[in-house]
Structure 1
Amino acid sequence: MRDSCSHRWAEIARAFLLLGMTAFGGPVAHLGYFREAFVVRRGWLDDRDFADLIALCQFLPGPASSQVGFALGWRRGGLVGALIAWSAFTLPSAIALVAAAAGAAHLGGEWGQALIQGLKLVAVAVVAHAVWQMAGRLCPDRLRIGIALAAVFASVTLGGTLGQLSAIVLGAAVGLCGCPPAPAGSQSRDIGFSTRLSAPALAFFLALLLGLPLAAAWSGGFVVVADAFYRAGALVFGGGHVVLPLLQSEVVAPGWVSEPTFITGYGLAQAVPGPLFTFAAYLGASLAPGGAGWATAALATVMIFLPGMLLLIGVLPHWERLRASSRAQRLIQGSNAAVVGILGAALFDPIWRSGVVAPIDFALALTGFLLLSVWRWPAWGVVILLVMARVVVGAGTGG
């Protein structure tokens, strides 16, 4: 039995490490890689089970593709298998971004500044593309468009975490009252996960969400960092890009990380494979110099992923019953529409205001947006093109 478990864990580690080093393109692309690797090639589950996992992970807060990977590892090798899958998929991009944060301090002169400006333009193009895609999918009617617009007003007038939370709560309330329920799905069935860990996981999720702010106020230090990244991870509805405004309010607003450093890191996160949430590793490394940066990066990375994984463990065994609830469907539709507005507000400030400072910047950002949305370029290709173009322009104009 032990040999069988060890064999499965090694199999999980090999499969997810390869994906962590090669899965470019963001969450939707990651799900395509997962289907090819685990449904088509390895036969770990069928398409219906895979679709059930995706539906749940899109319903919950957190990084959807990483949650699907965690669930696949859990299904194949238990909780140990889930942890191995998450670690193997996450570590390559996290290590690359910590190394990038260490090197960013040495980027000086015209060439370095032009490179940083190019990464800011990547962020403009990528976030604009995310807003465009999410608006089409999550705001298909006048009511949800109105929710998104109200969320923009809440985000820009209240600001910070308060504005974002207010927008999500308002969106969920309006959605509960006015959004239509989704069409009924197929016959429900058990998708094979034990309920034994469900209650402890949900209790631990709530204990950290409520207890970390109190502990941070009492002790400071690493606990403050843990609280900030855990709270950001717990509130991310609608995909990885939504973590941007949440993290901005947690680390830029209090002055932990400068706005240029934040946006440069977000641009770099588009150039590496694996989950976008590893942006937290870059920010964690930027908070502390030298060897301490690795410890802070590890803490930030674990804490931003932790709430989504705890919720998955808690909710996955009960998913079929939840999915049949029309109230739950309406709540999530309203909150998802609010998320579009929150991300739209972040597109303007800080992304646009920091990145577009000259006419050529507007032209390059528009080019990146069209390459992503019309010509379907991968994000890493847009990173290379815009950074190279901005470096050439910077070298030619001296700025």
Structure 2
Amino acid sequence: MSAAQPVDDAASAGDVREVFLAFLRQGLTAFGGPIAHLGYFRREFVEKRGWLSEAAFADLLGLAQFLPGPASSQLGMAIGLRRAGYAGMLAAWIGFTLPAAAAMLAFAYLAPHVSQTWGEGWLHGLKIAAAAVVIQALVAMARTLAVGPIRAGMAIGAGLGVLIAHGSGSAPQVFALAAGGLFGLAWLRDEPWTPPKDAATHAVPREVSVGALAVFGLLLAALPFAATLLQSPTLGLASVFYRTGSLVFGGGHVVLPLLERDIVGRGWLDQDTFLAGYGAVQALPGPLFSFAGFVGAAQDYAPGGLLGGLVALVAIFLPSLLLILGVLPFWDRLKTYPQARGALAGVNAVVVGLLAAALWQPVLTSTVQRPTDWALVAAAWVFLAIARLPPWLVVIGFAVATGLWTRVSI
């Protein structure tokens, strides 16, 4: 085995192709959001294919949940890395992301034409469904991440602070996440923890790991300055999405408040189109972060279309790839430190507050235009949380229903 190969056997072209096709299948069929994706991955790669043990899967899942970024995509990258090396890592990401990303890029082109044909009613239906999805995610996250007076207080404080500072870009969210880590370090590090018995193999060479972490930090610090110095809208766009991918804790739904402040707050994209795209991605399989492709293609700041969409997609996922490579060799030691667990618990509590603030502004304030809209949001939530209908069905159903109702009412 060469020094730079992070798997037990050298990756072959057949291994890489196998990884790509396996994750492409997941990208085409894995509906239901990040939590559902984890279940699909376990069934496919532990039970069916036997690519890794139950213990190794649990260990890599713990790493993905510890890092910022999309947990299901990061888990897929780690599985691809173990199976077929660095090429397998890329193959897993491309296969899992490709279907939803292609659909969201197409949606950026088709949305204006659909609006001309159907009117704006279908967009309103997408926004209604998006509001219900965020409510469902907020309730689920609060039950696990904001339990107890300390975490609940941190979540409430963060939410109120971000609402008060609305219109100030992404700085309030970044400050809230940093404060959450510090408060968690002080107050939550002594909580009991049982170390898992795992059998994961972390064989990324140390020099590769350190290099990946250095590139991660360099890009995070340098991209905004490079965009300003070179007056490059494309680099500016990449900077926004790279920072978002570096700071999103708590899953794909938290991408909403961070991107909304940067994209809509700067006037790069109107709020209705932004929320419609967020609603549409709920109807697709694969990662919610593919929403970045829609925003990058539809925004007016940098070159949009296919180029803008690809820049946004690469930029928002690149931090995850670098962090997986960078942290994996240190994971066994890092997860035993109570300081690290406390900081993560604090950040996760603040994430609940950020999502609650985003639920109010912009989701509900721009979606609920009349009293009947409250009833529609409640109905969509009932379909999702009580009737447990799949999100894609609720999204499509509300978009079609409100679109038809608007045309009949005219």
Scaled to the shorter chain, the TM-score interval is over 0.9
Shift of 1:182: 4.1
Structure 1 residues 189 and 92: alpha-carbon distance in aligned structure 2, compared to 1, 3 A threshold: closer
SS for the counterpart of 2:113 is coil
Is 2:248 the counterpart of 1:236? yes
Q: Counterpart in 2 of 1:216?
A: 227
Q: Counterpart in 2 of 1:193?
A: 203
SS for the counterpart of 1:105 is helix
Q: Counterpart in 1 of 2:183?
A: 174
SS for the counterpart of 1:274 is coil
C-alpha distance in 2 between matches for 1:58 and 1:23: 19
Is 2:390 the counterpart of 1:378? yes
SS for the counterpart of 1:382 is helix
Residue segments in structure 1 that go unaligned for 5+ positions in a row: none
Q: Counterpart in 2 of 1:260?
A: 272
Q: In the alignment, residue 178 of structure 2 is paired with which amino acid?
A: V
Q: Counterpart in 1 of 2:159?
A: 152
Q: In the alignment, residue 125 of structure 1 is paired with which amino acid?
A: A
Contact 1:119/1:386 (<8 A) preserved = yes
C-alpha distance in 2 between matches for 1:80 and 1:182: 39
C-alpha distance in 2 between matches for 1:392 and 1:105: 17
Is 2:175 the counterpart of 1:163? no
Residue segments in structure 2 that go unaligned for 5+ positions in a row: 2-8
C-alpha distance in 1 between matches for 2:42 and 2:337: 27
C-alpha distance in 2 between matches for 1:305 and 1:187: 30
C-alpha distance in 2 between matches for 1:130 and 1:186: 27
SS for the counterpart of 1:273 is coil
Stretch moving more, 337-346 or 362-371: 362-371
Structure 1 residues 128 and 4: alpha-carbon distance in aligned structure 2, compared to 1, 3 A threshold: closer
Is 2:38 the counterpart of 1:31? yes
Contact 1:189/1:320 (<8 A) preserved = no
RMSD: 1.9
Q: In the alignment, residue 42 of structure 1 is paired with which amino acid?
A: R
Contact 2:184/2:344 (<8 A) preserved = yes
C-alpha distance in 2 between matches for 1:313 and 1:253: 33
Q: Counterpart in 1 of 2:377?
A: 365
Q: Counterpart in 1 of 2:330?
A: 318
Q: Counterpart in 2 of 1:70?
A: 77
C-alpha distance in 1 between matches for 2:286 and 2:112: 24
C-alpha distance in 2 between matches for 1:324 and 1:271: 38
SS for the counterpart of 2:119 is helix
Is 2:21 the counterpart of 1:11? no
Structure 1 residues 87 and 164: alpha-carbon distance in aligned structure 2, compared to 1, 3 A threshold: same
Q: In the alignment, residue 245 of structure 1 is paired with which amino acid?
A: P
Give TM-score scaled by structure 2 length.
0.93
C-alpha distance in 2 between matches for 1:250 and 1:26: 24
1:98 pairs, out of 91, 101, 105, with 105
Contact 1:175/1:334 (<8 A) preserved = yes
Q: Counterpart in 2 of 1:184?
A: 194
- Give per-residue Cα distances to partners, 1:29-69, cap 9 Å, x unaligned: 11111111110111000111111111111110000000000
Contact 2:56/2:200 (<8 A) preserved = no
Contact 1:151/1:167 (<8 A) preserved = yes
Contact 1:288/1:296 (<8 A) preserved = no
Aligned length: 398
**Between the two proteins, what is the percent identity of the paired residues?**
44
Shift of 1:184: 2.2
Moved over 6 A (4+): 1-4
